[in-house]
């Protein structure tokens, strides 16, 4: 039973007269709450965030104070039953991602079985030949996964993207909740919201569990940041603080006899697990970019010697790029023997003749992406493109079909958002954070980062393009 708003998109709250059950209390509350109260809370929230925002802003450029990420005060709700289904799907998917990585850097059974084309993996820019034959400690590669999920109806979740490198945004999940608790204590009493504030504890125990086998029973964990000029520096320092571990820069670490140490006031101290927020290429100037000043010389050798665990592992990029994404359903079936619980957005691989023919016939209604492009580069959005642009893209596509995939224009669901004129639907997606530890331990904090396209009608939730965030609540079923 799918309820569509008049715009044709699935609205998570549902029609005014008959809201979906999970939203019943919130819908009533929105009706009963005078607009001026909502407006004053919005102002209060802004004040609250400006205070935090001062700290956010410092880490960007001078004008960052004006570029706070907008925060919407109306929570997004999931019933526990819906969430459990999502959780199972995420666990299944992350398990498959870890097995896939173990395999492609190990026995390569999936390539031998012809499930994923060999070239697509071995010549993938995210594939690290240095890691071939390496076994990640405890066979965990993606310790922290940010799986971007959308809804198109009240049944299904679609995965938009697997972020298996260094997904960010979890600080918003925690900060947004803190703000909401201060703004709407009554609403929390009404809803009995599953808490998210144990995320740092879960993360810490997960990171400790994957320490090298030789590490002491209380392994030393550190967060590795590129430094205070990185745009996510606030999140790095926030996490280190919540985890109660050191926030280190490359220059704070050194490697001696394949063992990693940090320089402390009482001398060198061995580090066992590094939650790194630096990309592969910058980790170790001896192994990757020689001019990287962010990394630690010898780190990769120490890692390969099994003396330190890096989270996430090196080389996970091969599992989350757009070309591999299209094979995720097969990958899940291959390793788990189960049907995927979460769907992929239907995708045409233009490397396949039949798909290419379909895509060429339907360009005006499709989104076509370069497999290795990101940030919207090399992309055609059919419904918004001119005839010339489509013709141009058609030529590119014919010239090098295997470099492209195509997807239907996405119908992201909408949620109620507090705007100047009252309450209105806006499109949203969701990034939940899935943790993987030793012995098959997977963990999902009931919540995540809900991103909102604040502009009416917009489907772009990216913060760089006016996207905002809102708190995500998992509540008990009525």
Partner 1 sequence: MLARTADNLYWFARYVERADHVARIIEATSRLAALPRAYGGATSEWESALISSGVIERFNETGKEINESNAIAFLVVDTDNPSSIHSCMEAARRNARAVRTALTIETWEAVNAAWLELLRYERERAKGRGLERDDLGRFLALVKKMALDVDGSAYRMMLRSEAFYFMRLGHFVERADNTARLLDVKYHVLLPDNEAVGGSLDYFQWSAILRAVSANTAYHWVYRESVKPWLVADLLILRAEMPRSLTACYENIVRWLDLLARDYGRQGKAQRHAHAMLAKLQAADLKIIFQNGLHEFIEGFIADNDRLDIVMAEQYLVH
Q: Which residues bind partner 1 (CB under 8 A)?
A: 51, 54-55, 58-59, 228, 237-238, 240-241, 246-249, 251-252, 262-268
> Nearest distance from residue 143's CB to partner 1, in Å?
22
> Nearest distance from residue 63's CB to partner 1, in Å?
12
Of residues 271 and 300, the one with the C-beta less far from partner 1: 271
Structural contact between residues 278 and 224, judged by C-beta atoms closer than 8 angstroms: yes
> Nearest distance from residue 230's CB to partner 1, in Å?
12
Closest CA to 213 of 135, 324, 267: 135
Structural contact between residues 227 and 233, judged by C-beta atoms closer than 8 angstroms: yes
Structure tokens at 228: 């205070």
Structural contact between residues 379 and 368, judged by C-beta atoms closer than 8 angstroms: yes
Of residues 28 and 263, the one with the C-beta less far from partner 1: 263
Closest CA to 429 of 405, 448, 445: 448
Assign 63 to helix, strand or coil: helix
Of residues 262 and 371, the one with the C-beta less far from partner 1: 262
> Nearest distance from residue 470's CB to partner 1, in Å?
24
Of residues 57 and 449, the one with the C-beta less far from partner 1: 57
Of residues 248 and 367, the one with the C-beta less far from partner 1: 248
> Buried (b) or exposed (e) across 81-120, using 16+ Cβ within 10 A?
ebbebbbebbbbbbbbbbbbbbbbbbeeebbeeeebeeeb
> Nearest distance from residue 287's CB to partner 1, in Å?
24
User: Distance between CA 152 and CA 250 in Å, rounded?
Assistant: 43
Closest CA to 105 of 129, 123, 127, 132: 132
Structure tokens at 222: 């550190």
> Nearest distance from residue 45's CB to partner 1, in Å?
18
**Using the 8-state DSSP alphabet, how is residue 1 labeled?**
-
> Nearest distance from residue 165's CB to partner 1, in Å?
24
> Buried (b) or exposed (e) across 148-175, using 16+ Cβ within 10 A?
bbbbbebeebbbbbbbbbbbbbbbbbbb
Of residues 182 and 384, the one with the C-beta less far from partner 1: 182
User: Distance between CA 402 and CA 378 in Å, rounded?
Assistant: 14
Of residues 270 and 396, the one with the C-beta less far from partner 1: 270
Contact residues for 290 (Cβ-Cβ < 8 A; gap 6+): none
In the block, which residue shows the tokens 């007269």?
17
Of residues 117 and 297, the one with the C-beta less far from partner 1: 297
> Nearest distance from residue 257's CB to partner 1, in Å?
16
Of residues 251 and 462, the one with the C-beta less far from partner 1: 251
Structural contact between residues 120 and 323, judged by C-beta atoms closer than 8 angstroms: yes
Sign of CA dihedral 331, 337, 339, 342: negative
> Nearest distance from residue 247's CB to partner 1, in Å?
6
> Nearest distance from residue 44's CB to partner 1, in Å?
18
> Nearest distance from residue 236's CB to partner 1, in Å?
10
Structural contact between residues 154 and 125, judged by C-beta atoms closer than 8 angstroms: no
Of residues 263 and 398, the one with the C-beta less far from partner 1: 263
H helical segments located in 311-458: 322-325, 328-336, 353-361, 387-399
> Nearest distance from residue 263's CB to partner 1, in Å?
4
**Would residue 145 be called left, alpha or beta, if left means φ above 0 and alpha means ψ between -120 and 50 degrees?**
beta
Structural contact between residues 449 and 172, judged by C-beta atoms closer than 8 angstroms: yes
Of residues 130 and 249, the one with the C-beta less far from partner 1: 249
Of residues 54 and 132, the one with the C-beta less far from partner 1: 54
């Amino acid at each position: 039973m799918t309820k569509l708003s008049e715009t044709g998109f699935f609205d998570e709250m549902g029609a005014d007269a008959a809201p979906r059950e999970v939203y019943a209390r919130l819908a009533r509350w929105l009706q009963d709450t005078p607009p001026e109260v909502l407006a004053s809370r919005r102002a209060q929230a802004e004040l609250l965030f400006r205070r935090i925002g001062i700290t956010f802003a410092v880490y960007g450029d001078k004008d960052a104070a004006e570029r706070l990420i907008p925060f919407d005060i109306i929570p997004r709700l999931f019933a526990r039953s819906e969430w459990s289904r999502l959780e199972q799907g995420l666990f299944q998917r992350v398990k498959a991602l870890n097995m896939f990585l173990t395999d492609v850097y190990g026995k390569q059974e999936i390539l031998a079985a012809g499930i994923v084309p060999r070239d697509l993996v071995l010549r993938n820019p995210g594939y690290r030949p240095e890691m071939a034959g390496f076994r990640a400690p405890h066979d965990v590669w993606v310790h922290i996964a940010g799986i971007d999920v959308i809804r198109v109806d009240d049944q299904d979740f679609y995965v938009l993207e697997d972020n298996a490198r260094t997904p960010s945004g979890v600080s918003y999940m925690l900060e947004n909740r803190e703000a909401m608790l201060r703004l709407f204590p009554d609403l929390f009493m009404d809803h009995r919201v599953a808490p998210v504030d144990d995320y740092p504890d879960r993360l810490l125990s997960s990171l400790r569990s994957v320490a090298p086998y030789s590490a002491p029973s209380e392994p030393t964990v550190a967060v590795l940041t590129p430094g205070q000029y990185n745009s996510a520096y606030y999140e790095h320092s926030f996490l280190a603080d919540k985890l109660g571990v050191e926030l280190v820069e490359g220059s704070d670490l050194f490697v001696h006899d394949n063992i990693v140490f940090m320089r402390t006031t009482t001398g060198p101290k061995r580090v066992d697990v590094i939650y790194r927020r630096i990309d592969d290429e910058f980790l170790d100037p001896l192994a990757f970019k020689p001019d990287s000043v962010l990394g630690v010389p010898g780190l990769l050798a120490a890692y390969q010697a099994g003396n330190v665990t890096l989270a996430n592992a090196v080389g996970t990029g091969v599992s989350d790029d757009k070309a591999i994404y299209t094979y995720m359903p097969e990958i899940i079936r291959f390793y788990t023997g189960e049907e995927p619980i979460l769907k992929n957005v239907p995708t045409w691989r233009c490397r396949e003749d039949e798909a290419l023919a379909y895509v060429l016939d339907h360009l005006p209604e499709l989104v076509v992406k370069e497999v290795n492009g990101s940030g919207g580069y090399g992309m055609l959005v059919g419904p918004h493109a001119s005839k010339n642009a489509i013709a141009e893209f058609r030529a590119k596509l014919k010239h090098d079909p295997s470099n492209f995939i195509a997807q239907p224009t996405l119908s992201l669901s909408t949620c109620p958002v507090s705007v100047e004129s009252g309450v209105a639907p806006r499109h949203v997606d969701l990034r939940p954070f899935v943790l993987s530890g030793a012995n098959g331990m997977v963990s999902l904090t009931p919540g995540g980062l809900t991103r909102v396209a604040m502009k009416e009608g917009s489907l772009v939730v990216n913060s760089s393009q006016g996207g905002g965030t809102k708190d995500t609540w998992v509540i008990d079923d009525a």
